Structure 1
Amino acid sequence: MNYILIYLIGFIATTVGTLAGGGGFISFPSMLLLGVPIHSAIGANKVSNTVSSFTSFWHLYRKGEVDWKESIWIMPVSVMGGVAGGMTATFMSASMLTVVASIFLVFGYIISFLGKGNFTNQKEKLPLNKYSFSGLFGIGMFDGMFGPGQGTLLFNLFGYLNLSYIKAVALVRLATVSSCMGAAVTYIASDKIIWSVTLCLMLGSVTGAQLGVRIAEKLKPQYVKPILRIMTLLLLIQLWINQFNL
C-alpha cells in the first residue's frame, strides 16, 4: 500500500472540500483505485472527515468567526438526518441512490442561483427556521444515503441563507463532524477500519483542512458562488459517468 499517495489524497481532497465541498469524489474513488476495500475506504473517509472537519471548525471558532450558541442545533439535526438517510439507503438499489443524489445536486445547483446574498454579509446569523432546519436535515439524510457532495450542498444552502463565506465554511465543517461521527463509530465497531490507511488519510486530511481554511479566509466572496456552481456540475457529471460507465 502506498501510504504517501494516501496522505496526498487526503490532503488534496480535504483542501478542495473545505473550500467548496466535493472532496469525497476525490478521496473515495482514488482509494478504491489503490485497492482499498470499499467498506474500509468509506470508514477511513468518515474517521478522517470527523477529525479534520473539527480542526478547521475549531480554528474558525477560536477566531470568533462563528457563534457556538447559534450553531449548536446543527449537530442533532445533522445526526438525525444522517441516521434517516442510512436507514433509507438500506432499502434502495445503487442505481436508485444515484438518481436521488442527482436530484439533490440539481436542486442545490438551482438554489445557488436563488440565494439572496453572495456570501458577503458579515453580520447575518444562521436562522433556525423551516428552510435551515429542513435543508440541514435533508442534506444530513443525503450524507447518510450517499455522502460525496454533502459539503457542496451545504454551501449552497448557506449561500441561500445569506451567510458570510467564512461562517459558511465553519458551519459546513461542524455539520460534517456531526454526520460523519456516527458513521465513523459504526465502522470502527464493525472492525472495517484498516488503521494504517485511515491514519495516513487522516494526517493528509488534517493538513489539507488547515490549508483550506486559511485559503478560505483570503478568498473573495464574489468568487464563491461561481466555484460552487462549477463544483456542483462536476459532481453531477461524475455521478452520471459512474452510472452509465462512460
Structure 2
Amino acid sequence: MEYIFLFFIGICATTLGTLAGGGGLISLPAMLILGIPVHSAIGANKVSNTISSFSSFYHLLKKKEISLKESCWIIPVSLGGGITGGFIASKLSGEYMFIIALVLLIFAFGTSFIGKGNFTGKEPLKMNKISITGLYGIGIYDGLFGPGQGTLMLYLFDFLNIAYIRAVGLVRLATFSSCFGAAISYIASGKIIWPFTIALLLGSLTGAQIGVRLAEKLKPIVVKVILRFVTAALIIQIAVEQII
C-alpha cells in the first residue's frame, strides 16, 4: 500500500514540479509521514527527479522548443552544484537545511513582486555571470535540500527574459543535472531505500509527461500567479516544520 501511495505522490509532485517547481512540497512531507528518514526521502527525490526531469526535457527537445546548442552548458554547471550540495548535505543537520531553504524562498518570493518579467521574453539563454552563478547556486541548493529548486530556477529564467515553455525545458535539464550529481552522493553514502525510491520514480515519470503537456497550454500571464502561490506554500510548509 505504501508503494501505491508513493506512486501517486510521484505523479502529483512531478506534475506540479514541472509547471512551477515545488514538487517537493508534496513528495517530501509525504515520505516523512511514512516514517522515511529525511536524508533517505531527499535521496529518493533526487533519484526519481534525475530520470523524470530528463524525460520532460527530451519531450521539449524533440519538439524543438529548446536546442542542445543553447542548453548543453547547463549540465556541467548544475551537475557541479548538485554534487557540491549533496556533499554539504551529508555534513549538515536537517534543521540547518530547513533554515537555508526558508531564507532562499522568502528572497525569491519578494523579488517576484519587484521584477517585471512575465515569461513572454524571447531572449536565448547565454553564459554570463548571472546565469552561471545562479545555476550553480541553485544546483547547490538542490543537492543540499531540494524543495523549491525548480521554482527558484524559473524565477532566474524569468529574470533572464526567457519564454515560459523554454524555461520549463531548461529547468528540467538543470534539474536532471543537479539531481544526478546529488543522487550520486546520496547513493554513495548508502542513504537510498530502493523500494520506496522506485515507487516514487515510476510515479514521477508519469507526472513529468503530464506536466510538460500542461505547460505547453499555460498562458504566461498565469505562470507568475502559480509561481507565487507555490512559493508561498513552500515558505509556510517549511516554517511550520521548523516550529513543530
TM category, shorter:
over 0.9
Partner of 1:213: 212
Partner of 1:3: 3
Is 1:52 matched up with 2:52? yes
**How do 1:23-62 and structure 2 match up within 5 A?**
23-62=23-62
Q: How far is the alpha carbon of 1:197 from its aligned partner? A: 2.0
Task: Tell me, in whole angstroms, the C-alpha distance in 2 between the residues paired with 1:189 and 1:96.
Answer: 22
Q: Structure 1 99/3 Cα, relative in aligned 2: closer, same or farther at 3 Å? A: closer
Task: Tell me, in whole angstroms, the C-alpha distance in 1 between the residues paired with 2:174 and 2:130.
Answer: 16
Q: Counterpart of 1:218 in structure 2: which amino acid?
A: K
Q: How far is the alpha carbon of 1:95 from its aligned partner? A: 3.3
Task: Tell me, in whole angstroms, the C-alpha distance in 1 between the residues paired with 2:172 and 2:210.
Answer: 14
Q: How far is the alpha carbon of 1:207 from its aligned partner? A: 0.5
Q: How far is the alpha carbon of 1:175 from its aligned partner? A: 0.6
Task: Tell me, in whole angstroms, the C-alpha distance in 1 between the residues paired with 2:145 and 2:44.
Answer: 15
1:96-139 per-residue CA deviation (whole Å, 9 max, x = no partner) reads 33332222112212332343431112x32112111111111111
Task: Tell me, in whole angstroms, the C-alpha distance in 2 between the residues paired with 1:174 and 1:27.
Answer: 20
For the Cα contact (< 8 Å) 1:112–1:159, is it kept in 2?
A: no
TM-score (norm 2): 0.93
Q: Structure 1 204/76 Cα, relative in aligned 2: closer, same or farther at 3 Å? A: same
**How do 1:151-166 and structure 2 match up within 5 A?**
151-166=150-165
SS at match of 1:218: coil
What is the RMSD of the two structures over their aligned residues, measured on CA atoms? 1.8
**Sequence identity, in percent?**
60
**How do 1:1-246 and structure 2 match up within 5 A?**
1-90=1-90, 92-121=92-121, 123-245=122-244
Q: How far is the alpha carbon of 1:45 from its aligned partner? A: 1.3
Unaligned runs of 5+ in 2: none
Q: Structure 1 28/120 Cα, relative in aligned 2: closer, same or farther at 3 Å? A: same
For the Cα contact (< 8 Å) 2:86–2:181, is it kept in 1?
A: no
Moved more, 53-62 or 22-31: 22-31
Q: How far is the alpha carbon of 1:41 from its aligned partner? A: 2.2
Task: Tell me, in whole angstroms, the C-alpha distance in 2 between the residues paired with 1:115 and 1:19.
Answer: 20
1:170-193 per-residue CA deviation (whole Å, 9 max, x = no partner) reads 011001101111222233344433
For the Cα contact (< 8 Å) 2:83–2:185, is it kept in 1?
A: no
Query: What is the total number of aligned residue pairs between the two structures?
Result: 244
Task: Tell me, in whole angstroms, the C-alpha distance in 1 between the residues paired with 2:56 and 2:64.
Answer: 13
Unaligned runs of 5+ in 1: none
Task: Tell me, in whole angstroms, the C-alpha distance in 2 between the residues paired with 1:35 and 1:96.
Answer: 20
1:185-219 per-residue CA deviation (whole Å, 9 max, x = no partner) reads 23334443333222221111010000000000000
Q: How far is the alpha carbon of 1:93 from its aligned partner? A: 4.2
Q: Structure 1 82/4 Cα, relative in aligned 2: closer, same or farther at 3 Å? A: same
For the Cα contact (< 8 Å) 1:116–1:162, is it kept in 2?
A: no
Q: How far is the alpha carbon of 1:229 from its aligned partner? A: 1.1
TM-score (norm 1): 0.92
